[in-house]
């Protein structure tokens, strides 16, 4: 069921590349059999979208720093305000309690365990992206921390130079050539994009561990992830509170920060290799015209 | 903005004489110079953070460091967006002064979380008219983050800082243009608001 929005989104994005001439993502060698396949079956997404009555180029792929595609801004802003209220009444107090009650080494252990149990999902995505080296790296990391790291509570792998490398299905879609889509504020979860939301939904079912574990063990990974989020909210509370409370427009700030950080993560950001998202030159804008 | 063909057209329109005049003050910054510049800055920042001074003194020290190492006029004007074009020069200079105070306080607060942290320069590359110095910053007890400093070959100073992909220029433009909107588009009211925050 989770695949429905994804398929819909893949189609939508393919349509946009066809009809709006959106530049494809540059990813060099790991370029996508799926995107090519979609080109051959281009009639399919187009007719599907005509049937759905979706029009316009709403899911382009603006990659320049600070550029965004936000056709749902009105709704997004309402959700953003809702999320701020949830943060203030729930996430903030809970994460403060979490951070104050649990000592730092315990929180570190929770973070480690959460990341450890996430590794199988990352390996799946590494493979889907054709990144064999990353898959082996993460596999080795999993084996190391499973054995010498007391089932992932400690992280000896990082000390051995096998550092944490993230991979998610939103990234996989990016590697396959799917555009970022519209910016979204997701209730309870915050900033995202159409592609990343689709990726998050798929990632709910891509972790092989979930199919191996049975209760009560199967409850540990998601619990540790909740703990990890609380710990994150606590550790970066000053910066996050500053963005939410002191920004002139916390919605606009969240949007620019999320998109730039995410594009950087995907290797396509301001200092990255996006086609026109290179180095921002204020001198040219201010004095060059 | 970075479109090559557009620049080629512009170059053709303005003529080579004007272009030569424009690029005359170029410093021809080398990557080694830019790295040394960023190292000096990192050392100065670390010294200030660890000096044990009071908060107010620290913000003042940060403002001095920002003026020394960053091209604050360009950052301030860029952050203002299109409104910078219609503003008078006296309006602009008082706005720019207020912006400096505002920015040093805002980022000073972030820097303070960095006590005991470490900045390590990793390398540099040249991109058109800037040298990009890549570094890793490691706050105490936290994961290291990637920080890039963009040093201009026009001014020899830092004009953008990019922390894990989030860049200072667009973040501040978002903030300042929103503030300007809230002040009904009045630059003098915006300046007063920045002075209040700084």
Q: Where residue B10 falls among pLDDT bands split at 50, 70, 90?
A: very low
Q: Mean pLDDT in chain A?
A: 80
pLDDT for the residue numbered B26: 53
**Do residue A281 and residue B173 have CB atoms under 8 angstroms apart?**
no
A65 in contact with B, Cβ within 8 Å? yes
pLDDT for the residue numbered A223: 94
Number of compact structural domains in chain B: 1
Which A-chain residues 233-252 have CB contacts (< 8 A) with chain B?
Answer: 235, 238-239, 242, 247-249, 252
How distant is the Cα of A215 from the closest Cα of chain B, in angstroms? Answer: 32
> The tokens 């200072």 sit on which residue?
B168
Statement: residue B56 has pLDDT above 70: yes
Parent domain of B164: 3-197
Please enumerate in sequence order all residues whose Cβ is within 8 A of that of A104, keeping only pairs 6 or more positions apart, or say none: B141
For the domain that residue B164 is a member of, what is the CATH number? 3.10.450.710
Torsion of CA A184, A188, A190, A193, to 10 degrees: -30
pLDDT for the residue numbered A221: 93
Average confidence (pLDDT) over B104-133: 84
ipTM above 0.85, yes or no: no
pLDDT for the residue numbered B49: 82
Please enumerate in sequence order all residues whose Cβ is within 8 A of that of B66, keeping only pairs 6 or more positions apart, or say none: B72, B100, B103, B104, B107
B189 in contact with A, Cβ within 8 Å? no
**Do residue A283 and residue B152 have CB atoms under 8 angstroms apart?**
yes
Q: Which residues of B touch A239 (CB under 8 A)?
A: 110, 113
Say which of B154, B164, B167 has its CB closest to residue A283: B154
Phi, psi dihedrals of residue B160, rounded to the nearest 5°: -155, 145
B154 or B18: which leads in pLDDT: B154
List chain A residues with pLDDT less than 70. 1-65, 269-278, 289
pLDDT for the residue numbered A254: 96
B56 or A108: which leads in pLDDT: A108
The residue of chain A nearest to residue B177, with distances taken between CA atoms, is A248
pLDDT > 90 fraction of chain A, expressed in percent and rounded: 65
A106 in contact with B, Cβ within 8 Å? no
Statement: residue B1 has pLDDT above 80: no
Statement: residue B141 has pLDDT above 90: no
How distant is the Cα of B47 from the closest Cα of chain A, in angstroms? Answer: 22
DSSP code, position A90: I
B1 in contact with A, Cβ within 8 Å? yes
Taking alpha carbons only, the member of B144, B126, B127 closest to residue B136 is: B144
């Amino acid at each position: 069921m989770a695949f429905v929005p994804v398929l819909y989104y893949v189609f939508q994005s393919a349509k946009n590349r066809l009809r709006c001439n959106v530049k494809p993502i540059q990813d060099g060698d790991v370029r996508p059999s799926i995107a090519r396949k979609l080109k051959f079956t281009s009639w399919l997404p187009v007719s599907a979208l005509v049937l759905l009555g979706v029009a316009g180029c709403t899911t382009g792929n603006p990659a320049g720093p600070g550029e965004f595609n936000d056709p749902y801004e009105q709704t997004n802003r309402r959700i953003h305000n809702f999320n701020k209220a949830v943060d203030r009444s729930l996430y903030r107090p809970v994460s403060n309690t979490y951070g104050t009650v649990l000592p730092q080494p315990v929180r570190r252990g929770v973070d480690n365990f959460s990341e450890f149990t996430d590794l199988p999902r990352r390996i799946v995505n590494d493979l889907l992206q054709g990144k064999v080296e990353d898959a082996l790296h993460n596999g080795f990391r999993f084996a190391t921390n499973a054995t010498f790291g007391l089932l992932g509570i400690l992280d000896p792998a990082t000390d051995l130079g096998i550092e944490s490398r993230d991979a998610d299905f939103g990234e996989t879609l990016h590697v396959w050539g799917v555009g970022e889509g519209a910016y979204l504020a997701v209730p309870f979860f915050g900033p995202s994009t159409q592609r990343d939301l689709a990726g998050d939904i798929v990632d709910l079912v891509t972790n092989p561990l979930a199919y191996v574990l049975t209760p009560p063990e199967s409850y540990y990974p998601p619990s540790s992830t909740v703990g990890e989020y609380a710990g994150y909210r606590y550790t970066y509370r000053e910066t996050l509170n500053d963005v939410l409370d002191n920004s002139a427009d916390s919605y606009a700030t969240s949007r620019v920060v999320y998109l730039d950080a995410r594009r950087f993560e995907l290797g396509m950001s301001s200092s990255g290799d996006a086609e026109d998202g290179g180095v921002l030159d204020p001198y040219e804008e201010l004095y060059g015209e | 903005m970075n479109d090559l063909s557009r620049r080629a057209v512009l170059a053709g329109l303005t003529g080579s004489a004007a272009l030569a005049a424009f690029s005359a003050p170029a410093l021809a910054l080398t990557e080694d110079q830019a790295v040394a510049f960023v190292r000096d800055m990192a050392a100065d920042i670390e010294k200030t953070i660890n000096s044990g001074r009071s908060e107010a003194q620290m913000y003042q020290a940060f403002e001095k460091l920002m003026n020394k190492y960053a091209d604050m006029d360009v950052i301030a004007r860029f952050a203002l967006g299109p409104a910078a074009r219609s503003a008078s020069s006296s309006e602009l200079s008082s706005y720019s002064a207020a912006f400096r105070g505002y920015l040093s306080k805002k980022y000073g607060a972030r820097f303070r979380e960095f006590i005991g942290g470490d900045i390590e320069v990793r390398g540099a590359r040249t991109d058109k008219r800037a040298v990009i110095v890549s570094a890793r910053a490691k706050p105490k007890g936290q994961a290291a983050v990637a920080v890039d400093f963009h040093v201009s070959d026009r001014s020899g100073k830092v004009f953008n800082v990019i922390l894990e992909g989030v860049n200072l220029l667009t973040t501040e433009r978002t903030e300042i243009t929103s503030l300007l909107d809230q002040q009904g588009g009045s630059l003098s009211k915006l300046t007063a608001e920045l002075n209040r925050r700084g």
